[in-house]
Amino acid sequence: MTQTLSRQETPVSPPPPAPPRRKKHRDPSRFFRLYLPLVLYLLFTLIPFYWMLVFAFRPAGETTLLPWPITFEHFDTVWNDIGFGLFFQNSLLIALGTLVTVTVFAVMGGYALARFKFRGQRVFLLALLCTQFIPGAMMLIPLFVIFKNVGLLNSLTGLIIADTAFQLPLALILMSGFVRNVPVELEEAAMVDGCSRLRAFFAVTLPQLRPALVAVGSFAFIGAWNNFLFALMFASRQDKFTLPVGLSYALGEFNTDFGALAAGGVVAAVPVVLVFAVVQRFLVQGLSAGAVKG
Amino acid sequence: MKRLLVALALVLSACSAGGQDGPTTITFWDNNGGPGRTPIYEELIKRFEAANPNIKVEYVGIPSSSVQQKYDTAIAGGSTPDVGGVTTSYLAHLVGQDALEPLDERLESGPLKGKLLPGLLETVRQTAMDGKLYAAPASGNLDVIWYRSDLFAEQKIAVPDTWDQLVDAAAKLTKPADNKYGFTIRGGAGSVFQLLAEAYSYSGVDKFYDGGKSTVSDPRNAELVSKIAGIYKKSTPEADVNNNYTQMVAQFTGGTVAMMHHNLGSTADVMKALGAQKVSAMPLPKGPSGKRTVVPNPTDGFAVFKGSKNPDASWKFVEFLTSAESNGYWNEKVGQIPANTDVRGAEWIQKNPAVKMALGVLEDPATMLVPAPVYLPEYSSITKTDTEPLYQKVLLGQMSAQQFLDELAAKLTTAQQEWEKRK
Amino acid sequence: MRTRTWAPYVLIAPTLLLMAVFLVYPIASVGWFSLRQHTVTQPWKNGFIGFENFRRMLFDDPLFWQSLLFSAKWVVVEVGLQLVLGLVLALIVNETFVGRAMARSLVFSPWAVSGVLTTGIWILLYNPSTGIFQQLAQWGIGDPGTSVLGDPATVFPATVVTELWRGVPFFAILLLADLQTIPNDLYEAASVDGAGRWRRFVSVTLPHLRDAIVLSTLLRAVWEFNNVDLIYTLTGGGPANQTTTLPLYVARKAVDSHDFGYGSALTMAGFVILLFFSVLYLRLSKFGSRA
């Protein structure tokens, strides 16, 4: 059973959910329902990025639509004068740490919510939601005091914990929805075959959750990657700051430098976009039709 | 048990010995971190550490938009830096939270005695209810109008001396079809700060309070506000109603706008984008009275925090930053007025027309200073949260200038009376 | 599988621990401060004042109501548009076509851009001298000097569009992930029954996505309600408070004006409102009741 499943997940380009395509026939409706909206949306997405690229590669004060003559001075500014190298490294470590902790805890808690009925379940769900009702800025001072008392100021670990605490409720709720979508019969069948519940989970359910792991994990990663407030408030050392802090340097009164902002933006955005490009291929069907009947 | 005590004693003595021999580390928060200023401090810290091998300075650059929040959080959490950059616009808040060390005695007993501009010392002292000095002033600033000297020359327009001339010039420089405008108004964050400087420069009213009542609502001030509102969308871009500093500077350096009111602090931003051939600074124009009245711009300085474990080393660093050499270096780089009087003769001042002009204005005996009551704990909340939206209403024609200034004046008067009572 | 066991408690233990340590006390402290006059710059006035902050909020502060109304408008418009566009986008990139991987990573990428940067880019894009409208005007489209953020008539849509740019991918990613869990045989069965594309969408896709849609709209609504940074940097709540949301008002009161007590009271109001609507929404949508 396990083997059949894992073979079926190999990411061959999967059948889309709107299946009966008229193969080898050019379908004119595809232009209107697929390509046209896609191109329009891509334009909407890409124009702001293009603006950023232009400002990043164009000398300050120029107004041309093409970044010509091309310059790397802004990258020099962000890398050497602002110290983006270190910020980059910090952001990466924090985001990866948060990704791991959030995803693991979210799968655990999401599984509990989806597969068990237990006392306090509704209260727990509501409490999770409640944590999202208050803007971070209002909790800053009490949080700061807690962090100081447990010795987590000025440390990347502290920031990972802070980001995890804030992102976990959301991730957990989302994950519970995904777990609920995996037919419980699959797990039961595996358990009948003699698997323990834990093994059944790892062998059967977890592989089905791959799209969910990508979605929830990328949310956690990006949330931490982009967190500005905690990064600035819970660290008071230059070598612990992160990319968003570095970016806000370029937007200050007396320090407005659009070229540096855009160049810093390129540095901050490109790796994440590339990671997306890689992980998006896991956003495909893990389960083929036959397996459901298990 | 005995051995444990011995071990403990050893550890303790080791610790205290380490504290005396090793270098002391102090933290310094730059209230304006960014590509413009961080490298300047890094250089100064390098020099300081070379001269004081026993003290290490840890630089932390705080983005200026979040600096108040950062200080507030640090104070509430009891984790303040040793030394911090501050400006008088929020110094009262830090003093009010009892976070700063008074510096009068240290200043009087050290080499800086008598070296710092009395006017700047005065503006710093005014922010504290007890009249003590809670920051060493490092740099003075002045509201200026940056203008495109190249466009003025091209179109043979004289540099305005009065607000009426400025309004005329703005109209002449405006060509909506080409997206060119004569002036830009700061209508968003920070607007009222700048508007007050404009109003008093026009009205010639030479006191902020008269008999405990705010003079903001003086009809001559209202006249200026109406004038500015009158050119909105005619000689200024429509975007101005929401302009904060970033957006305003984008318009000016992007070439859309010929004149922009800000202060010397933007020298680097403006010069980097446009270059000295294209841009110059003029003082705020005068009004019909012909008098030069100036609402002083906030003073930059350095404060020592009460929580510092090394107040002596901290002061040493502040002293170093305000010494003639460092102070000159810093102000030359950012283009502001050095607080240390020994820098006055420096060559760079003669070569920086904007600073030279500003000094000329401030040292002119005919200039009257009208300090804004930044000492009021409510000052920034009144001039930002409460009244910035009202000014936008004036620009949009939903409120009259007089009505707006009346509301502002009423709030300032109440706050002042409360302050007097507590004093 | 619904046995009485300690397993679920073990599984949620890390989450509970994090919440207990890092969230309970800060939230409680906001509640406590809402009953106090607390202005850090005027410590001599601080003290317990009972419900005075709430009285002031409800009866003496038109801006509270105005900002609340705008928050509601903001949340409904944002979440509604993000959901519709996100669903459409998810369905599109779920199809098979040449360059799909590329298209997916491109349309998802704005989600990866931080708040600071999003507003930075859009400030430049909307700016009448450095932006897109200036460029279009040069090509003869529209008027030069068009300022969408300065015109009271366009400031709201302009802000909405900016947030859409970043927010639509959230729904698209989530719904795309959920689309993957629809068993194909459901579609096959529907096709056999002669259902067209639209019927299949309505009778198979939508019901399957229901829980995901309920959850994501709820979470997103809460998130958008509390979203401060974008509007704050883009419009500052202006012109003339037109785009001030409740949390933006909170930030201006508690952070800029240091009136922490009143800011906390405003926050508690937001808390209660969100709680009420969340419970109502979960009830009405019969969330999780699917067999």
DSSP A111-151: HHHHH---TTHHHHHHHHHHTTSS-HHHHHHHHHHHHHHTT
Residues of chain B with pLDDT under 70: 1-21
Q: What is the pLDDT of residue A25?
A: 55
- Backbone dihedral region of B146: left (phi > 0), alpha (psi from -120 to 50 degrees) or beta? beta
Within-domain flag for C111: yes
Per-residue confidence band for A11, with pLDDT thresholds at 50, 70 and 90: very low
Q: What is the pLDDT of residue B138?
A: 95
Instruction: Give me the domain span that covers residue B208.
Output: 143-295+376-422
What one-letter code names the amino acid at B337? I
In chain A, which residue's Cα lies nearest the Cα of B267?
A254
Q: What is the pLDDT of residue C156?
A: 92
Residue with tokens 């009448």: C128
Chain A positions touching B29 (Cβ under 8 A) are 236
Residue C98: give its domain's CATH number: 1.10.3720.10
Q: Is the pLDDT of residue A159 over 80?
A: yes
Within-domain flag for C29: no
Residues 88-107 of chain B whose Cβ lies under 8 A from any Cβ of chain A: none
With beta carbons less than 8 A apart as the criterion, state whether B61 and B38 touch: yes
Q: Are residues B116 and B210 in the same domain?
A: no
Q: Are residues B260 and B396 in the same domain?
A: yes
With beta carbons less than 8 A apart as the criterion, state whether B157 and B169 touch: yes
A223-234 mean pLDDT: 91
Q: How close B33 gets to chain A, by Cα (Å)?
A: 6
Q: Are residues B158 and B268 in the same domain?
A: yes
When the pLDDT of each residue in chain A is averaged and rounded to a whole number, the result is 83
With beta carbons less than 8 A apart as the criterion, state whether B240 and B232 touch: yes
Q: Are residues B272 and B124 in the same domain?
A: no
Q: What is the pLDDT of residue B21?
A: 57
Chain centroid to CA B273 = 22
The DSSP 8-state label assigned to residue C22 in this structure reads I
Test C129 with B254 for CB contact under 8 angstroms.
Answer: yes
Q: Are residues B77 and B215 in the same domain?
A: no
Q: How close B35 gets to chain A, by Cα (Å)?
A: 6
Q: How many CA atoms lie within 13 Å of A234's alpha carbon, on the beta-carbon side? A: 32
Q: How many Cβ atoms sit within 10 Å of the Cβ of residue B145?
A: 20
Residue B350: give its domain's CATH number: 3.40.190.10
Rounded Cα distance, C33 and B138, in Å: 38
A264-272 mean pLDDT: 87
DSSP A237-280: SGGG--HHHHHHHTTSTT---HHHHHHHHHHHHHHHHHHHHHHG
Q: Is the pLDDT of residue A14 over 60?
A: no
Q: Is the pLDDT of residue A6 over 50?
A: no
Within-domain flag for C251: yes
Q: Are residues B102 and B56 in the same domain?
A: yes
Within-domain flag for B7: no
Q: Which of B314, B366, B372, B362 is nearest to B341 (CA)?
A: B362
- Backbone dihedral region of B219: left (phi > 0), alpha (psi from -120 to 50 degrees) or beta? alpha
Rounded Cα distance, C284 and C287, in Å: 8
Chain C positions touching A87 (Cβ under 8 A) are none
- pLDDT per residue as tens digits for the range A57-77: 988 777 788 877 889 999 998
- Backbone dihedral region of B401: left (phi > 0), alpha (psi from -120 to 50 degrees) or beta? alpha
How far is the first Cα of chain C from the last one, in angstroms, to the nearest whole number? Answer: 14
Chain centroid to CA B413 = 23
Domain count, chain B: 2
With beta carbons less than 8 A apart as the criterion, state whether C111 and C194 touch: no
* B33 and chain A in contact, CB less than 8 A: yes
Q: How close B115 gets to chain C, by Cα (Å)?
A: 31
Q: Kindly list the distances between the CA atom of residue A257 and the CA atoms of A212, B45, B117, B244, C121, in Å, as whole numbers in the listed order.
A: 39, 24, 31, 14, 12
Closest by Cβ to A61, choosing from B76, B245, B274: B274
With beta carbons less than 8 A apart as the criterion, state whether C258 and C40 touch: yes
Test B237 with C130 for CB contact under 8 angstroms.
Answer: no
Cis peptide before B219 (omega within 30 of 0): no
Q: Which of C170, C162, C164, C74 is nearest to C124 (CA)?
A: C162
Residue with tokens 């070229």: A259
* A260 and chain B in contact, CB less than 8 A: yes
Chain C positions touching A287 (Cβ under 8 A) are 180-181, 183
Secondary structure (H, E, C), A197-217 = HHHHHHHHHHHHCHHHHHHHH
Geometric angle at alpha carbon C80, from C79 and C85, rounded to 5°: 100
With beta carbons less than 8 A apart as the criterion, state whether B95 and B127 touch: yes
Q: What is the pLDDT of residue A5?
A: 36
Q: Are residues B408 and B332 in the same domain?
A: no
In chain B, which residue's Cα lies nearest the Cα of A63?
B254
Within-domain flag for B16: no
Q: Are residues B283 and B403 in the same domain?
A: yes
Q: Kindly list the distances between the CA atom of residue C225 and the CA atoms of A55, A133, B188, C58, in Å, as whole numbers in the listed order.
A: 32, 9, 23, 19
Chain A positions touching B76 (Cβ under 8 A) are 141, 144-145
Dihedral over Cα of A149, A150, A151, A154: its sign = negative
Closest by Cβ to B73, choosing from A78, A233, A252: A233
Residue with tokens 């509007």: C231
Rounded Cα distance, B22 and B18, in Å: 6
Q: How many Cβ atoms sit within 10 Å of the Cβ of residue A214?
A: 22
A interface test, pick of B57, B59, B62 with most A CB neighbours within 10 Å: B62
Test B238 with C236 for CB contact under 8 angstroms.
Answer: no
In chain B, which residue's Cα lies nearest the Cα of C154?
B239
In chain C, which residue's Cα lies nearest the Cα of A181?
C181
pLDDT (tens, 9 = 90+) of chain C, 291 residues, equals: 445 688 899 999 999 999 988 888 899 999 999 999 998 888 888 899 999 999 999 999 999 999 999 999 999 999 999 999 999 999 999 888 888 888 888 888 888 888 888 988 998 899 887 888 888 888 888 777 778 888 888 999 999 999 999 999 989 988 998 888 888 788 888 888 888 888 888 888 998 888 889 988 998 999 999 988 889 888 888 888 889 999 999 998 888 888 999 999 999 999 999 999 999 998 888 765 543
Instruction: Give me the domain span that covers residue C139.
Output: 68-258
Chain B positions touching A248 (Cβ under 8 A) are 63, 65-66
B neighbours by CB contacts (3+ pairs under 8 Å): A, C
Closest by Cβ to B256, choosing from C128, C149, C252: C128
Within-domain flag for C95: yes
- Helix (H) or strand (E) holding C17, with range, is helix C7-19
- Phi, psi dihedral angles at B278 (to 5 degrees): -100, -15
Within-domain flag for B36: yes
Within-domain flag for B14: no
With beta carbons less than 8 A apart as the criterion, state whether B55 and B317 touch: yes
- pLDDT per residue as tens digits for the range A199-219: 889 988 998 898 899 889 988
Residue with tokens 């366009």: C154
Q: Are residues B80 and B222 in the same domain?
A: no
Chain C positions touching B393 (Cβ under 8 A) are 240
Rounded Cα distance, A250 and B245, in Å: 12
Q: Are residues B183 and B279 in the same domain?
A: yes
What one-letter code names the amino acid at A228? F
Within-domain flag for B302: yes
At B275, list the tokens. Answer: 């270059």
Q: What is the pLDDT of residue B402?
A: 97
- Backbone dihedral region of C286: left (phi > 0), alpha (psi from -120 to 50 degrees) or beta? left
Within-domain flag for B9: no
- pLDDT per residue as tens digits for the range B139-188: 999 999 999 999 999 999 999 999 999 999 999 999 988 889 999 999 99
Helix locations, B323-400, DSSP H: 324-334, 347-351, 353-363, 379-380, 388-395
Q: What is the pLDDT of residue C39?
A: 87
In chain C, which residue's Cα lies nearest the Cα of A44?
C165
Residue with tokens 């410590």: C43
Helix (H, G, I), strand (E, B) or coil at B300: strand
Q: Kindly list the distances between the CA atom of residue B198 and the CA atoms of A179, B149, B163, B192, B218, in Å, as whole numbers in the listed order.
A: 63, 21, 9, 10, 13
Test A281 with C101 for CB contact under 8 angstroms.
Answer: yes
DSSP C194-209: T--HHHHIIIIIHHHH
* C259 and chain B in contact, CB less than 8 A: yes
Within-domain flag for C145: yes
Domain count, chain C: 1
Q: Are residues B243 and B175 in the same domain?
A: yes
CATH superfamily name and code, A2-10+84-286: MetI-like (1.10.3720.10)
Q: Are residues B137 and B151 in the same domain?
A: no
Q: Is the pLDDT of residue A191 over 80?
A: yes
